[in-house]
Copies of this chain bind each other. A is one copy, B any other.
Amino acid sequence: MANFAPYSIHEDRLFSADSKLRSISRDLYASIKDLPIVSPHGHTDPRWFAENNNFSNAAELLIIPDHYVFRMLYSQGVSLESLGIKRLDGGAVESDYRKIWRCFAKHYYLFHGTPSRMWMDHVLCSIFGFEVELTEDSADFFYDRINEILASDEFKPRALLEKFNIELLATTEGGLDDLKYHAQLKGTGIDKTVITTFRPDDIVDPESGNFAHNLTKLADITGQDCASWQGYLAAIRDRRAFFREHGATATDHGHATAKTADLTASECERLFSQVRSGNFSKEQAELFRAQMLTELAGMSLQDGMVMQIHPGVYRNHNGQVLQNFGRDKGGDIPVQAEFVQNMAPLLNKYGNSTDLRIILFTLDETTYTRELAPLAGHYPALKLGPAWWFHDSPEGMLRYRHSITETAGFYNTVGFNDDTRAFLSIPARHDVARRIDCRFLAQMVAEHRISESAAFDLAHDLSYRLAKEAYQNTKTSK
């Protein structure tokens, strides 16, 4: 270990270099850095917490599931096979996890300036306690030590929840999920911390692979007649109730666009019948998803579930990667988004309600100042989700605050989402968000645009209170 270059993460990282700004940032950060983590939207595996087994090894935990990591390596010519990503045809892929880790270490310089490097550095230095640099030479040292630590009791999933000071962690499950792991958690106390989120894309998107099959399954599970429009809606309501029984306070919708519609009942019936038949156009599929967003908003108004909309991604852009390795392998690319025209039908129906909460996300940053901040600064039902996915990064978060605050203020935002399946990176991600918010607030204070006391209140709200309150069931929280 003495042979490796010393390495650490700096206590002032991400603060401005200016001493006045840095000093205010430090004070703000000191006041909120130890607040519990509220993680109301993410993709960790509930099985971890239900079964509470130790994680296997550094590569399986930190590399193979992280599409941020392997997309960068792939872009620089490293094959997905060599990183142990499973092929759908069962073809050979690297199975020596040490080799995979070495490959990552060798290419770690590619991540300079990326959030992946910042998160990984945080995990290595702060969670695993390393004080030297990860390079090709030190790869084995890291690999062995990480695996040793992962095997300890204090690194079991439930212990880590406590170690990370996680007050709430929402997972995300598909509309047909049996939620068996969440069921296992009942009565353990962990069920107060680990809750599910209702993501019905597979049962509301006619273009989601197996729609007809999914409708049949939906009918089977709920006992509702999913051949009729009303029966179908009732079935979705049943599923929502089931999810709420497993802690869900929110729904999530990953449509291609933010398009909404407000059709008549008979138009709905005809359209449902069409998409159910499997014989429908792209436009009809889009219109059905659009109508369903409005239907789901209506259900949220009834049952109080907070509605999250994550539009604007061209999924599986790389056909070859999709065919060989399946979905979520780094080939999702943002496209232009539009909210003003698209959201008008839904907002005209429900946007003035103070009993409904819809949280909008975007990957198209041009919509921040042009569309989202003006919409959220007007409609009572709307709130802005934090900088998302590719923008869940220091620069992305700064652009977000600089863009939306003047029109939407701070109180039409909902705190931070980590949106991650990389469990160990959760503290790192929340830490980045907290530091960047403190940095932004420090600049506002130093430029006499907000008072220092307002900044302390806001630092607390942005780090903790807003996330907690925004995702409370709107029916129970009043």
Q: Which residues of A contact B (CB under 8 A)?
A: 7, 9-10, 12-18, 20-21, 71-72, 74-77, 109-115, 118, 314, 317-321, 330-336, 338, 340-341, 344, 347-348, 351-352, 354, 363-366, 369-371, 373-380, 382, 390-391, 393-396, 402-403, 405-412, 443-444, 446-451, 454, 457-458
- Residues on B with beta carbons closer than 8 Å to the beta carbon of A74: 378, 380
Asked whether, in the complex, the Cβ of B75 is within 8 Å of the Cβ of A444, the reply is: no
Check if B395 sits within 8 Å of A403, measured CB to CB: yes
Give A394 to B376 CA distance when docked, in angstroms: 20
Beta-carbon contact of B340 and A318 below 8 Å: no
A15–chain B nearest beta-carbon distance, Å: 7
Return 18 A-B CB contacts under 8 Å, by A number: A17-B20, A71-B377, A75-B376, A77-B380, A112-B458, A113-B449, A114-B407, A115-B406, A118-B449, A320-B348, A333-B374, A335-B370, A336-B370, A365-B369, A366-B370, A390-B406, A395-B402, A395-B405
Query: A17-B447, A352-B318, A412-B76 given as contacts; is B110 within 8 A of A371 (CB)?
Result: no
Instruction: Count copies of this chain in the complex.
Output: 3
Within the complex, which residue of B10, B15, B379, B405 is in contact with A113, where a contact is CB–CB below 8 Å? B405
Residue of B nearest to A393 (CB): B406
Question: Which one of B13, B320, B340, B376 lies within 8 Å of A314 (CB-CB)?
Answer: B340
Give which listed residue, B12, B321, B364, B406, contacts A394 with CB less than 8 A. Answer: B406
CB closest chain-B residue, reference A78 = B380
Give bound CA distance, A109 to B457, whole Å. 10
Instruction: Give A351 to B77 CA distance when docked, in angstroms.
Output: 11
What residues of chain B lie closer than 8 Å to A110, measured between beta carbons? 409, 411
The answer to whether A340 touches B348, judged by C-beta atoms less than 8 angstroms apart, is no
| A15 surroundings in chain B (CB, below 8 A) | 447
Q: Are A348 and B75 in contact (CB under 8 A)?
A: no
Chain B positions within 8 Å of A408 at CB level: 75
B75 and A380 form a contact (CB under 8 A): yes
